[in-house]
Chain A
């Protein structure tokens, strides 16, 4: 075999072994470095897909009798790229109902990304919200051993919310997940989780097949707001604005996958 092939093979082999070993430790994440997904891809067991039956059933239950808080709120809407789909409509809701509204989008974010950093707390300290909307989970629909891998991160995120009322908006699945919705639902108090994947919710998708189209995103936000106002544990005034009503957040932060 030609020497150059041997050298090239050596380079590729050393790199592969190096990245594999690198992925076995926790310290890279503390340095802000992402790891290759060797463990999730090769060693995690392949659970049966679940269909959130219990979670759907809970959402379908009649609501408790919480009173609506009609005061004007400072709302922080934070999460993954789904926030980018939702915040234009939510801005219109905030404008219509007199709320101050901040949006933070972290592309490609996961519970692991948020759960290993203090980003949520940092934006709470920055904007002082008295109401949090959190949308996360769309990048983890098909993670194997989800509870084993992600429960600790979900718990950490919830810890960072502190005493501030929050609603966790579940991902709008395009097919059954491996348990992310059930896991989040079981981790938060009743009425704090909006399940976006129920038989009566159908959202058209953009070309990527994952994110809802603009029209569907607006419908999705409309449903969430209606649910928050009438059925959630933390009901606030979210009267529906006119269709096509345009507004912007008071501040918008976009965090990139590389890190903030």
Chain B
């Protein structure tokens, strides 16, 4: 291939310009090339707090621009407004005015989210109900709007409740809101956890940097090897549910359950890892969710920052469990429906939230009577609890991922009513690599945490050439498993 300098710069320009179809995802080559430039500059500026902040904000806004174009200004505007509102809440002396600023801030944040995310859903439903023909709005959903809206709401509410002080300057707040590792898909890190780290601006330790790098590598493997590979079959089977047997659809349900875990927890690992490399602890977002023994435990292990957010800013303000059993069940259902709707403007997400609400309520109702009859430390009881919880999770994940309520019903119904194990050998023979990957990721879920911790410690301490070798192997694995295009993360659409 001949080298032409003009072509090179033309292609480079195209790569770096706004393209909604090609967001700057962490498992893309473009991101890593940019990170290679980012890292030494960040390292040099780390001790000069203001310069470091300006540099990181600029990079974060570029990160936003790459997928959302001029909408990065929306993020800037949101940060200005909510920073100002939080200051007003602090300054005001009357409760009435403080409450006014709080609700104004929430109304604007939710309003913007509603416009971009739910306007077309509302129009679609009106058209269905009224047989009208309102045209959908031509909107691009800005990157991570669901995530940063929740961050900004929690910040203003926490200032209102006196849990945190508002930031002294706007840059601090913009840094928190736009911090690129957590911008697109969380974790929804709280201001009370993040801002003190920014104020202290401590040098990251060697442990932090390399354990972060290790997490990034794990995340890349989860996403680019496991999730994208498992997706090949799940997507096809969900897309043609009528053409597949019950057994094949049951396998697709299992596959999607593992795929979404690898996809989203993989992204979270990368985000948390990048945060650590930069010296920021973003907490954890997943804690082996498929080990859960019941729906309540599942929500303590799955998308932890979201479930904590929903608990603190929806469930508890609604009354939590303080106003009697019936009210608690209502609060649980309302919280899960909001959680479902947050994920996407479609009925399948609302149904998904509703089914989880039912699961949580049933668990709350049955927990005490069952605990009286069944010893909770008995291994058989634990196993059946796990099995029941896992089947429940697989079903709800199918509702989440099958596309629409009708398709998910077809998939679930056929999986139960047309399940024929005779397809097993045919399936395994035809899709042996897929089955192997599914088994591996399932088995890895039950490896003791200590093993992962030891591996991390070993990686942190190993020679840099070994780290290089591992990095090269991981990247080559990603290239080997890669499809023609880099697949977007499932949660990127939220």
Whether, in the assembled complex, A164 has its beta carbon less than 8 Å from a beta carbon of chain B, the answer is no
User: CB-nearest residue of chain B relative to A210?
Assistant: B485
Give the distance in Å from the alpha carbon of A35 to the alpha carbon of B434 in the complex: 23
Give the distance in Å from the alpha carbon of A33 to the alpha carbon of B472 in the complex: 13
Give the distance in Å from the alpha carbon of A213 to the alpha carbon of B18 in the complex: 29
Partner of A18, one of B40, B46, B210, B472: B472
- A 124-155 binary contact with B (CB < 8 Å = 1; else 0): 00000000000000111000010010000000
For window 54-108 of A, CB contacts with B under 8 Å fall at 81, 84-85, 88, 107-108
Knowing A2-B203, A42-B8, A44-B1, say if A12 contacts B35 (CB, 8 Å).
yes
List A contacts of B2 (CB < 8 A): 43
Stretch of B148-156, B162-170, B473-481 lying at the A interface: B473-481
Knowing A12-B35, A18-B472, say if A43 contacts B11 (CB, 8 Å).
yes
List A contacts of B433 (CB < 8 A): 256, 258
Whether, in the assembled complex, A230 has its beta carbon less than 8 Å from a beta carbon of chain B, the answer is no
User: CB-nearest residue of chain A relative to B203?
Assistant: A2
**Distance of B214 from chain A, by nearest CB (Å):** 11
List A contacts of B464 (CB < 8 A): 7, 10-11
Whether, in the assembled complex, A208 has its beta carbon less than 8 Å from a beta carbon of chain B, the answer is yes
User: CB-nearest residue of chain A relative to B210?
Assistant: A4
Q: Are A1 and B44 in contact (CB under 8 A)?
A: yes
List B contacts of A139 (CB < 8 A): 483-484
- B 407-450 binary contact with A (CB < 8 Å = 1; else 0): 00000000000000000001000110110000000000000000
Give the distance in Å from the alpha carbon of A207 to the alpha carbon of B236 in the complex: 10
Knowing A206-B239, A211-B236, say if A4 contacts B32 (CB, 8 Å).
no
Please report the total number of A residues contacting B with Cβ < 8 Å: 58
Q: Are B475 and A19 in contact (CB under 8 A)?
A: yes
Give the distance in Å from the alpha carbon of A108 to the alpha carbon of B483 in the complex: 5
**Distance of A41 from chain B, by nearest CB (Å):** 6
- B 1-42 binary contact with A (CB < 8 Å = 1; else 0): 111100110111011000000000000010011011001101
Whether, in the assembled complex, A21 has its beta carbon less than 8 Å from a beta carbon of chain B, the answer is no
List B contacts of A242 (CB < 8 A): none
Q: Are A207 and B239 in contact (CB under 8 A)?
A: yes
List B contacts of A18 (CB < 8 A): 472
Whether, in the assembled complex, B102 has its beta carbon less than 8 Å from a beta carbon of chain A, the answer is no
For window 376-405 of B, CB contacts with A under 8 Å fall at 403
Q: Are A108 and B484 in contact (CB under 8 A)?
A: yes
Q: Are A217 and B480 in contact (CB under 8 A)?
A: no
- Label chain B's interface by main secondary structure: helix
Q: Are A88 and B240 in contact (CB under 8 A)?
A: yes
User: CB-nearest residue of chain B relative to A22?
Assistant: B476
Knowing A7-B464, A213-B239, say if A16 contacts B36 (CB, 8 Å).
yes
Partner of B471, one of A11, A41, A206: A11
User: CB-nearest residue of chain B relative to A205?
Assistant: B239
List A contacts of B46 (CB < 8 A): 1-2
Whether, in the assembled complex, A13 has its beta carbon less than 8 Å from a beta carbon of chain B, the answer is yes
Q: Are B43 and A41 in contact (CB under 8 A)?
A: no
**Distance of A22 from chain B, by nearest CB (Å):** 9
Partner of A5, one of B8, B43, B479, B481: B43
List B contacts of A13 (CB < 8 A): 36
Whether, in the assembled complex, B204 has its beta carbon less than 8 Å from a beta carbon of chain A, the answer is yes
Q: Are A12 and B39 in contact (CB under 8 A)?
A: yes
List A contacts of B232 (CB < 8 A): 81, 107
Stretch of A186-194, A232-240, A246-254 lying at the B interface: A246-254
Give the distance in Å from the alpha carbon of A45 to the alpha carbon of B40 in the complex: 32
User: CB-nearest residue of chain B relative to A253?
Assistant: B430
Give the distance in Å from the alpha carbon of A43 to the alpha carbon of B4 in the complex: 7
Q: Are B36 and A12 in contact (CB under 8 A)?
A: yes
Q: Are B430 and A214 in contact (CB under 8 A)?
A: no
For window 149-198 of B, CB contacts with A under 8 Å fall at none
Q: Are B239 and A211 in contact (CB under 8 A)?
A: yes
User: CB-nearest residue of chain B relative to A105?
Assistant: B430
Q: Are A110 and B32 in contact (CB under 8 A)?
A: no
- For the complex of A and B, 3 pairs with smallest distance between CB atoms: A214-B240, A139-B484, A5-B43
